Amino acid sequence: MWEHAGLAQLLTFTPLYNALPVHFYRLPSRRHLYRIGKKIGSGSFGDIYLGINIISGEEVAIKLESIKAKHPQLEYEAKVYKTLAGGVGVPFVRWYGQECDYNAMVIDLLGPSLEDLFNFCNRKFSLKTVLLLADQMISRIEYIHSRNFIHRDIKPDNFLMGIGKRGNQVNVIDFGLAKKYRDPKTHLHIPYRENKNLTGTARYTSINTHLGVEQSRRDDLESLGYVLMYFLRGSLPWQGLKAATKKQKYDRIMEKKMTTPTELLCRGFPSEMAIYLNCCRSLRFDDKPDYSYLRKLFRDLFVREGFQYDYIFDWSIQQRTADEAQKISELKSSAATGAPQQQPVQQLPRRKVLAQGEEDEAGLRDTTRGAAGSYQQAQQGSSSRVRREGQGQPQQWY
């Protein structure tokens, strides 16, 4: 179980002060010993493995990136994690450095991703579960933005549930594509630009991103809107489109996105879903979104639907039903044969697993987009509901 080709089984992680800025991490003087195990996931750059601290026995996640990578990003991602350290739902980086032929980052181990759980629940979430998730996900995105970064790859695979006492907490991961959108001291916003490459995952990227416009806070939130509708509908209208090349594929996805009105996309679901997306799309490039308004939009819907804040998600019910079915089956077997027999039951995914390949996955440098057309020109002049920079932060619900 505990093995990895090309890497010593026992990783002796010793602080590499010469390789990192002095202020980067304060590491204990003792050596960190981790044993690396099976692969449990993949990020924008590098693979993720299960690890164990052989001194304490604590399980961790270890993200590895070859030192020969054409575009190494793991050190950058570790720095972003450091900037975000202390935020609710942001895993803590325990160590970063070089080991053998790999850059390695040791980070908190989390539970299954929302994509894993979506599959576990037969690829459909109830409105209650989506609203419970939406509230936390908006808060995670707001926190990232408050620390001067945008994520740029909002998708179900990058949100993981916690484990143990934090099993109901949504965590955000994978900052390999994150970008600083403003100066931390002056809060001067990055300039508006066009002809940018498509960055992120095409299925969930905003329309402006497809058009080649520099991403900002509005794009993370628009992507979240597509994620929420994906959970409610089971799929999005632009999934499964065929094309000869990636560029043609992305162009078809963009065209379908632009020609699908939000009212049609959200048909059959509460009007708040379309209101949310329209609000995000109406934001100007450097607007600060009104996160409180967006949360309240969904909270009011949650209360109006008569839901309870009991944090019973769809997968909780699925697992409980499976457990009860197993007990009944065992009782019947015991009564018939005099000895209980184990029956296979569907179990919650324990870890974040490797995401299945998608045809609409976008890399960093896949295609170059032309100048943006009338869509973003209209967006630049549109009015929007925004919270200005000088106003206070809304209270955290989680």
Active site residues: 153
Tell me: is residue 63 an annotated ligand-binding position. yes
Write the secondary structure of the chain as one string of H (helix), E (strand) and C (coil): CCCCCCCCCEEEECCCHHHCCCCCCCCCCCCEEEEEEEEEEECCCCEEEEEEECCCCCEEEEEEEECCCCCCCHHHHHHHHHHHCCCCCCCCEEEEEEECCEEEEEEECCCCEHHHHHHHCCCCCCHHHHHHHHHHHHHHHHHHHHCCEECCCCCHHHEEECCHHHCCCEEECCCCCCEECECCCCCCECCCCCCCECCCECCCCCHHHHCCCCCCHHHHHHHHHHHHHHHHHCCCCCCCCCCCCHHHHHHHHHHHHHHCCHHHHCCCCCHHHHHHHHHHHHCCCCCCECHHHHHHHHHHHHHHCCCCCCCCCHHHHHHHHHHHHHHHHHHHHHHHHCCCCCCCCCCCCCCCCCCCCCCCECCCCCCECCCCCHHHHHHHHCCCCECCCCCCCCCCCC
Q: Which residues are annotated as a binding site?
A: 63
Q: Which residues are annotated as a binding site for ATP?
A: 63
